[in-house]
Amino acid sequence: MGIYAEFVLSAATPRQFPADNLPEIALVGRSNVGKSSMVNSLLRMNKLARTSNTPGRTQTLNFYRIWPDGKPKMGDPKDPDQADRFTLKGSALEAAQAAGAFYFVDMPGYGFARVSESQRQGWRRLIENYLTTRETLRAVIQIVDLRHPPSKDDIAMWDWLRHYGKARLVLATKADKVPRNQRAAHVKEILKELGVKALVAPNPDAPVTADVEPFQVYSAEEGVGRDELWPWVIAAARTAAAAPAAPLEG
Protein backbone atom coordinates (compact mmCIF):
# COMPACT_ATOMS: atom_id res chain seq x y z
CA MET A 1 0.00 0.00 0.00
CA GLY A 2 1.41 3.38 -0.97
CA ILE A 3 1.54 6.68 0.84
CA TYR A 4 -1.72 8.62 1.05
CA ALA A 5 -1.69 12.40 1.46
CA GLU A 6 -4.38 15.06 1.45
CA PHE A 7 -4.40 18.83 1.37
CA VAL A 8 -6.16 19.98 4.52
CA LEU A 9 -6.13 23.76 4.68
CA SER A 10 -4.30 27.03 4.06
CA ALA A 11 -3.73 29.12 7.18
CA ALA A 12 -3.08 32.85 7.23
CA THR A 13 -3.19 33.14 11.04
CA PRO A 14 -2.36 30.80 13.95
CA ARG A 15 -6.06 30.51 14.77
CA GLN A 16 -6.52 28.59 11.53
CA PHE A 17 -3.86 25.95 12.27
CA PRO A 18 -5.11 22.36 12.77
CA ALA A 19 -5.78 21.55 16.42
CA ASP A 20 -5.49 17.75 16.37
CA ASN A 21 -1.87 17.79 17.65
CA LEU A 22 -0.44 15.52 14.98
CA PRO A 23 3.32 15.95 14.41
CA GLU A 24 4.39 18.52 11.81
CA ILE A 25 7.43 18.92 9.56
CA ALA A 26 7.92 22.38 8.09
CA LEU A 27 9.28 23.12 4.61
CA VAL A 28 11.11 26.42 4.17
CA GLY A 29 12.94 27.95 1.24
CA ARG A 30 13.04 30.93 -1.04
CA SER A 31 10.40 31.50 -3.68
CA ASN A 32 10.46 29.21 -6.71
CA VAL A 33 12.96 26.80 -5.12
CA GLY A 34 10.76 23.79 -5.86
CA LYS A 35 9.04 23.02 -2.56
CA SER A 36 5.77 21.97 -4.19
CA SER A 37 7.53 19.79 -6.76
CA MET A 38 9.49 18.13 -3.96
CA VAL A 39 6.31 17.38 -2.00
CA ASN A 40 4.61 15.86 -5.03
CA SER A 41 7.67 13.81 -5.89
CA LEU A 42 8.33 12.56 -2.37
CA LEU A 43 4.71 11.52 -1.87
CA ARG A 44 4.26 10.27 -5.44
CA MET A 45 1.15 12.41 -5.91
CA ASN A 46 1.72 14.70 -8.88
CA LYS A 47 -1.18 17.06 -8.25
CA LEU A 48 -1.20 17.27 -4.46
CA ALA A 49 0.75 20.54 -4.11
CA ARG A 50 0.19 23.22 -6.69
CA THR A 51 3.28 24.16 -8.64
CA SER A 52 3.73 27.49 -10.36
CA ASN A 53 6.33 29.33 -12.39
CA THR A 54 5.27 32.53 -10.65
CA PRO A 55 7.39 33.19 -7.53
CA GLY A 56 5.51 34.24 -4.41
CA ARG A 57 2.33 32.28 -5.21
CA THR A 58 2.29 30.55 -1.79
CA GLN A 59 1.16 33.21 0.68
CA THR A 60 -0.16 31.03 3.51
CA LEU A 61 0.93 28.01 5.52
CA ASN A 62 -0.37 25.02 3.60
CA PHE A 63 -1.03 21.89 5.66
CA TYR A 64 -0.84 18.45 4.04
CA ARG A 65 -1.82 15.43 6.14
CA ILE A 66 0.36 12.41 5.38
CA TRP A 67 -0.62 8.79 6.01
CA PRO A 68 2.61 6.79 5.56
CA ASP A 69 0.93 3.40 5.08
CA GLY A 70 -1.91 4.34 2.78
CA LYS A 71 -5.45 5.68 2.84
CA PRO A 72 -7.05 5.02 6.22
CA LYS A 73 -10.29 3.23 6.91
CA MET A 74 -11.89 5.21 9.68
CA GLY A 75 -15.35 3.64 9.84
CA ASP A 76 -18.68 5.20 9.02
CA PRO A 77 -18.17 8.53 7.16
CA LYS A 78 -21.39 9.76 8.79
CA ASP A 79 -19.84 9.43 12.23
CA PRO A 80 -19.78 12.97 13.75
CA ASP A 81 -16.22 12.31 14.90
CA GLN A 82 -15.17 12.07 11.25
CA ALA A 83 -17.02 15.07 9.87
CA ASP A 84 -14.35 17.75 10.34
CA ARG A 85 -11.38 16.96 8.13
CA PHE A 86 -9.69 20.21 9.17
CA THR A 87 -9.12 18.96 12.70
CA LEU A 88 -9.41 15.22 13.30
CA LYS A 89 -11.01 14.08 16.54
CA GLY A 90 -12.57 11.06 18.13
CA SER A 91 -12.15 7.78 16.28
CA ALA A 92 -10.64 9.58 13.27
CA LEU A 93 -7.88 11.07 15.41
CA GLU A 94 -7.25 7.71 17.06
CA ALA A 95 -6.84 6.14 13.62
CA ALA A 96 -4.42 8.90 12.57
CA GLN A 97 -2.31 8.51 15.70
CA ALA A 98 -2.20 4.73 15.33
CA ALA A 99 -1.14 5.09 11.69
CA GLY A 100 1.65 7.57 12.46
CA ALA A 101 0.00 10.33 10.42
CA PHE A 102 1.69 13.73 10.35
CA TYR A 103 1.62 17.04 8.48
CA PHE A 104 3.89 18.68 5.97
CA VAL A 105 3.61 22.44 6.44
CA ASP A 106 4.62 24.35 3.32
CA MET A 107 5.74 27.89 4.17
CA PRO A 108 5.55 31.01 2.00
CA GLY A 109 8.75 31.42 0.00
CA TYR A 110 11.06 34.07 1.37
CA GLY A 111 13.10 36.56 -0.59
CA PHE A 112 10.48 37.39 -3.23
CA ALA A 113 11.02 40.99 -4.32
CA ARG A 114 7.74 41.72 -6.13
CA VAL A 115 5.61 42.06 -3.03
CA SER A 116 5.32 45.01 -0.70
CA GLU A 117 7.55 45.38 2.33
CA SER A 118 4.51 45.10 4.60
CA GLN A 119 3.55 41.79 2.95
CA ARG A 120 7.08 40.44 3.35
CA GLN A 121 7.06 41.42 7.01
CA GLY A 122 3.68 39.73 7.46
CA TRP A 123 5.00 36.50 5.95
CA ARG A 124 8.12 36.74 8.11
CA ARG A 125 6.15 37.07 11.33
CA LEU A 126 3.78 34.25 10.36
CA ILE A 127 6.71 31.94 9.64
CA GLU A 128 8.79 32.89 12.67
CA ASN A 129 5.91 32.67 15.12
CA TYR A 130 5.02 29.25 13.76
CA LEU A 131 8.61 28.00 13.98
CA THR A 132 9.16 29.35 17.49
CA THR A 133 5.85 28.53 19.18
CA ARG A 134 4.30 25.53 17.44
CA GLU A 135 4.44 22.64 19.92
CA THR A 136 3.68 20.01 17.28
CA LEU A 137 6.66 20.99 15.10
CA ARG A 138 9.19 18.15 14.96
CA ALA A 139 11.67 19.19 12.27
CA VAL A 140 12.38 21.65 9.47
CA ILE A 141 13.54 20.87 5.95
CA GLN A 142 15.27 23.87 4.42
CA ILE A 143 15.22 23.65 0.64
CA VAL A 144 17.91 25.33 -1.44
CA ASP A 145 18.67 25.31 -5.17
CA LEU A 146 21.66 23.11 -6.00
CA ARG A 147 22.42 25.24 -9.05
CA HIS A 148 23.21 28.39 -7.07
CA PRO A 149 25.05 29.42 -3.89
CA PRO A 150 22.69 30.09 -0.96
CA SER A 151 21.16 33.56 -0.94
CA LYS A 152 21.42 35.92 2.02
CA ASP A 153 17.90 34.83 3.00
CA ASP A 154 18.94 31.17 2.84
CA ILE A 155 21.90 31.83 5.09
CA ALA A 156 19.82 33.89 7.52
CA MET A 157 17.20 31.15 7.78
CA TRP A 158 19.83 28.46 8.35
CA ASP A 159 21.53 30.52 11.06
CA TRP A 160 18.12 31.10 12.64
CA LEU A 161 17.31 27.38 12.70
CA ARG A 162 20.68 26.60 14.27
CA HIS A 163 20.28 29.36 16.84
CA TYR A 164 16.93 27.95 17.97
CA GLY A 165 18.18 24.37 17.89
CA LYS A 166 15.56 23.09 15.48
CA ALA A 167 15.89 19.55 14.13
CA ARG A 168 16.74 20.25 10.51
CA LEU A 169 17.96 19.02 7.16
CA VAL A 170 19.22 20.87 4.08
CA LEU A 171 17.71 19.61 0.84
CA ALA A 172 19.37 20.78 -2.38
CA THR A 173 16.77 20.50 -5.14
CA LYS A 174 16.88 20.64 -8.93
CA ALA A 175 19.84 18.26 -9.10
CA ASP A 176 18.75 17.24 -12.59
CA LYS A 177 19.71 20.76 -13.76
CA VAL A 178 23.33 20.17 -12.74
CA PRO A 179 25.60 17.67 -14.56
CA ARG A 180 26.46 14.73 -12.34
CA ASN A 181 30.20 15.46 -12.50
CA GLN A 182 29.58 19.00 -11.19
CA ARG A 183 27.20 18.26 -8.33
CA ALA A 184 29.92 17.70 -5.73
CA ALA A 185 31.37 21.14 -6.42
CA HIS A 186 27.93 22.74 -6.06
CA VAL A 187 27.39 20.93 -2.77
CA LYS A 188 30.76 22.14 -1.50
CA GLU A 189 29.82 25.74 -2.31
CA ILE A 190 26.51 25.46 -0.49
CA LEU A 191 28.18 24.05 2.61
CA LYS A 192 30.80 26.77 2.57
CA GLU A 193 28.17 29.52 2.45
CA LEU A 194 26.07 27.91 5.20
CA GLY A 195 29.10 27.38 7.42
CA VAL A 196 28.75 23.61 7.52
CA LYS A 197 32.05 21.77 7.90
CA ALA A 198 30.86 18.20 7.42
CA LEU A 199 27.85 16.25 6.24
CA VAL A 200 25.96 13.21 7.33
CA ALA A 201 23.42 11.31 5.26
CA PRO A 202 19.82 11.93 6.36
CA ASN A 203 20.06 9.34 9.14
CA PRO A 204 17.85 10.32 12.10
CA ASP A 205 20.14 8.43 14.48
CA ALA A 206 23.31 10.28 13.43
CA PRO A 207 24.60 12.98 15.80
CA VAL A 208 24.08 16.53 14.59
CA THR A 209 26.07 19.56 15.68
CA ALA A 210 26.53 23.08 14.34
CA ASP A 211 29.37 21.74 12.17
CA VAL A 212 27.90 18.40 11.11
CA GLU A 213 24.50 18.60 9.44
CA PRO A 214 22.19 16.23 7.54
CA PHE A 215 22.14 17.07 3.85
CA GLN A 216 20.55 15.51 0.78
CA VAL A 217 20.69 16.24 -2.95
CA TYR A 218 17.26 15.91 -4.55
CA SER A 219 15.63 15.89 -7.96
CA ALA A 220 11.86 15.82 -8.33
CA GLU A 221 12.32 15.01 -12.01
CA GLU A 222 14.67 12.05 -11.56
CA GLY A 223 13.64 10.89 -8.10
CA VAL A 224 17.19 11.36 -6.81
CA GLY A 225 17.22 11.48 -3.01
CA ARG A 226 13.69 10.24 -2.42
CA ASP A 227 14.67 6.90 -0.90
CA GLU A 228 17.18 8.62 1.40
CA LEU A 229 14.86 11.45 2.50
CA TRP A 230 11.68 9.50 3.26
CA PRO A 231 13.04 7.44 6.22
CA TRP A 232 14.40 10.64 7.78
CA VAL A 233 10.98 12.28 7.44
CA ILE A 234 9.22 9.31 9.06
CA ALA A 235 11.70 9.17 11.94
CA ALA A 236 11.49 12.94 12.48
CA ALA A 237 7.70 12.80 12.64
CA ARG A 238 7.93 10.15 15.37
CA THR A 239 10.32 12.02 17.64
CA ALA A 240 9.15 13.40 20.95
CA ALA A 241 8.07 17.03 21.04
CA ALA A 242 10.66 19.62 22.06
CA ALA A 243 9.82 22.60 24.22
CA PRO A 244 8.83 25.57 22.03
CA ALA A 245 10.94 28.71 22.02
CA ALA A 246 9.64 31.93 23.52
CA PRO A 247 7.19 33.76 21.22
CA LEU A 248 8.39 36.79 19.33
CA GLU A 249 7.55 40.14 20.82
CA GLY A 250 5.72 42.94 19.07
Q: Residue 88 — very low, low, confident or very high, per pLDDT cuts 50/70/90?
A: confident
Q: Which residues pair with 170 in a beta bridge?
A: 142, 215
pLDDT score recorded for residue 204: 63
Q: Residue 96 — very low, low, confident or very high, per pLDDT cuts 50/70/90?
A: confident
pLDDT score recorded for residue 134: 93
Mean pLDDT of 175-197: 93
Q: Distance (Å, rounded) from C-alpha 173 to C-alpha 146?
A: 6
As a whole-number percent, the residues of the chain with pLDDT over 70 amount to: 78
pLDDT score recorded for residue 248: 47
pLDDT score recorded for residue 178: 96
Catalogue all structural domains in the chain, each as residue range(s) with its CATH number.
4-237 (3.40.50.300)
What pLDDT digit, counting tens, does each position of 2-14 carry?
899 999 999 988 8
Q: Residue 94 — very low, low, confident or very high, per pLDDT cuts 50/70/90?
A: confident
Q: Distance (Å, rounded) from C-alpha 27 to C-alpha 121?
A: 19
Residue 62 has pLDDT above 50, yes or no: yes
Q: Distance (Å, rounded) from C-alpha 24 to C-alpha 101?
A: 9
Q: Distance (Å, rounded) from C-alpha 148 to C-alpha 220?
A: 17
Residue 54 has pLDDT above 60, yes or no: no
Chain-wide mean pLDDT for the chain? 83
Q: Distance (Å, rounded) from C-alpha 183 to C-alpha 191?
A: 12
Q: Distance (Å, rounded) from C-alpha 39 to C-alpha 35?
A: 6
Nearest to 129, CA basis, from 12, 240, 234: 12
Nearest to 130, CA basis, from 60, 42, 51, 65: 60
Residue 234 has pLDDT above 50, yes or no: yes
Q: Distance (Å, rounded) from C-alpha 130 to C-alpha 169?
A: 18
- Whole-structure pTM value: 0.86
Q: Distance (Å, rounded) from C-alpha 139 to C-alpha 168?
A: 5
Q: Cα-atom radius of gyration of the chain, to the nearest Å? A: 18
Q: Among 42-56, 70-84, 161-175, whose mean pLDDT is lowest?
A: 70-84
Mean pLDDT of 70-91: 64
Mean pLDDT of 50-76: 72
Q: Residue 250 — very low, low, confident or very high, per pLDDT cuts 50/70/90?
A: very low
Q: Residue 80 — very low, low, confident or very high, per pLDDT cuts 50/70/90?
A: very low
Residue 79 has pLDDT above 60, yes or no: no
From the number of C-beta atoms within 10 Å of its C-beta (0-12, 13-18, 19+), residue 150 rates as: buried
Q: Distance (Å, rounded) from C-alpha 19 to C-alpha 97?
A: 14
Q: Distance (Å, rounded) from C-alpha 225 to C-alpha 217?
A: 6
Q: Which residues pair with 143 in a beta bridge?
A: 29, 171
Q: Residue 17 — very low, low, confident or very high, per pLDDT cuts 50/70/90?
A: very high
**Beta-strand runs (E) in 107-241:** 137-145, 168-173, 198-200, 212-217
Distance in angstroms between the alpha carbons of the first and the last residue of the chain: 47
3-state SS of 170-201?
Answer: EEEECHHHCCHHHHHHHHHHHHHHHCCCEEEC
What pLDDT digit, counting tens, does each position of 109-148 carry?
876 555 566 666 666 788 888 999 999 999 999 999 999 9
Mean pLDDT of 223-232: 92
Q: Which 3 state secondary structure label does DSSP give 105?
A: strand
